[in-house]
Structure 1
Amino acid sequence: MSQIQPVLDALGHNTHMGPLGSGQVTKMVNQVLVLNNFTLLAEAVTLAKNAGIDPVKVPEALKGGYADSPMFQRFFARMVERDFPNPAGYARQVLKDLDMVVDLAKQNQHTENRCPAYRPRCTAL
């Protein structure tokens, strides 16, 4: 273990989240954030295009500000170019995650869940 520990440390870390199932809930929280971010990126691309600015320049213009993130830098330009290598495969995974999040929200009387609204978009892919 000691020989590969530096590699494991570079890949990530462990955080104890609580009793059995807490890690799965944490993964669903992550998916809510990721799915919402993808939706907002797509909306921003559309807004930039419709407003007549060059969306290709947006990542550079916003770099270092509060809207910047690794996800923004990695995916905004791909969305502008409509560079989606495997949308159907990714959409199937997203649908599975969405269903899990919706079920968790229902179990916990969480009424502010926006994830069901994303389902038709993912199903269309």
Structure 2
Amino acid sequence: MTIAFIGLGIMGSPMAANLVKAGYDVVGYDVSAERVAELEARGGKGAAGVAEAVADADVVITMLPDSPQVEEVAPVVVAHGASGLIYLDMSTIRPDTSRWVAREAAAKGVRALDAPVSGGERGAVDGTLSIMVGGDPEDFAAARPVLGALGTTIVHVGPPGAGQTVKAANQLVVGGIYGLVAEAIVLLEASGVDPVAGLDVLAGGLAGSRILDIKRHTMIKREFAPGFRIDLHHKDMGIAVAAAREAGVALPLTAQVAQLVAAARAQGHGSLDHSALLKVVERFNG
């Protein structure tokens, strides 16, 4: 099976590499020639453009920054892909964009699924991503083996766009937990309590979370190398707020988290990991 992979960034590059390891023929394209060369060094093949990458593919995966990039690339995938092609958009974008992609693809005989992921760079490298999939159940079943090379929690959550709605819910929860962990660190340190010991206890109790498990020590050390950038989480919180508006529901804590993430970006931390919300909370406290 040949898989075309479009978008070889922080997440896409290790995901494509895992597909190569799983035995698939992977043809990759990215606007960065250096990233394409990295895929080739790992056993994949490079393409000069989207059309070339998808021409002979059985499955196409896009992992792009935002809705505008998907809106640009999806018509090329649909136009140059074969009938019956499985198209997995694993970007995090607006649900309405995913529904539009599904309609455009169906008109050309392409089977489109929105399949955003959670787990960050570590999950992408380890192949342990959580994948939430929207689209036709039969198309999901056909794509399941490929997704199995990328993640461990793979769930069909509903019709087109549903995967993106679940991802929006994921991002609002993740942002909220980062904000609260940041506040816990500030409280512990201001009170003269060892934050390492304090967060170790929290991680083993009801307050425990995946974020505490993998990020508490780097947050305490103020190490914010990006696994997932503030800039991208800012975009995702905008999607969550817009989804709430479309659904006609009030999410007050989500709105506050969105403002916290926006403050981090405004303060120049957009290129840092989203755990850098700690810097914003510290600034609040002088």
TM-score by length of 2: 0.38
> 1:56 touches 1:77 (CA, 8 Å); kept in 2?
yes
State yes or no: 1:96 paired with 2:239: no
Residues 100 and 41 (structure 1), Cα distance of their counterparts in 2 relative to 1, 3 Å cut: same
Q: Which moved more, 1:57-66 or 1:24-33?
A: 57-66
Output the CA distance in 2 between the equivalents of 1:104 and 1:36: 17
Q: Which moved more, 1:44-53 or 1:62-71?
A: 62-71
> 2:168 touches 2:236 (CA, 8 Å); kept in 1?
yes
Post-superposition Cα deviations, 1:40-99, rounded to whole Å, max 9, x if no partner, equal 110110010111101121233234211122310221221111111139x70111111011
Higher fraction of helix: 1
> 1:17 touches 1:23 (CA, 8 Å); kept in 2?
yes
Residues 53 and 103 (structure 1), Cα distance of their counterparts in 2 relative to 1, 3 Å cut: same
Q: 1:74 aligns with which of 198, 206, 214?
A: 214
Output the CA distance in 2 between the equivalents of 1:66 and 1:111: 26
Output the CA distance in 2 between the equivalents of 1:63 and 1:21: 33
> 2:199 touches 2:212 (CA, 8 Å); kept in 1?
yes
State the identity as a percent.
26
> 2:148 touches 2:154 (CA, 8 Å); kept in 1?
no
State yes or no: 1:57 paired with 2:200: no
State yes or no: 1:18 paired with 2:18: no
Aligned residues: 121
Higher fraction of strand: 2
Post-superposition Cα deviations, 1:94-117, rounded to whole Å, max 9, x if no partner, equal 111011111111112222233332
Query: Looking at both structures, which has the greater relative contact order when contacts are Cα pairs under 8 Å and sequence separation is at least 6?
Result: 1
Query: How much does 1:26 deviate?
Result: 0.6
Amino acid at match of 1:120: A
The aligned runs of 1:30-49 (5 Å cut-off) are 30-49=170-189
What residue is the counterpart of 1:108 in the other structure? 247
What residue is the counterpart of 1:121 in the other structure? 264
Q: Which moved more, 1:10-19 or 1:45-54?
A: 10-19
Q: CA RMSD in A?
A: 2.4
Secondary structure, aligned partner of 1:14: strand
Output the CA distance in 1 between the equivalents of 2:240 and 2:202: 31
Where structure 1 has 5 or more consecutive residues not aligned to the other structure, the ranges are none
Output the CA distance in 2 between the equivalents of 1:10 and 1:121: 30
> 1:55 touches 1:80 (CA, 8 Å); kept in 2?
yes
TM-score by length of 1: 0.82
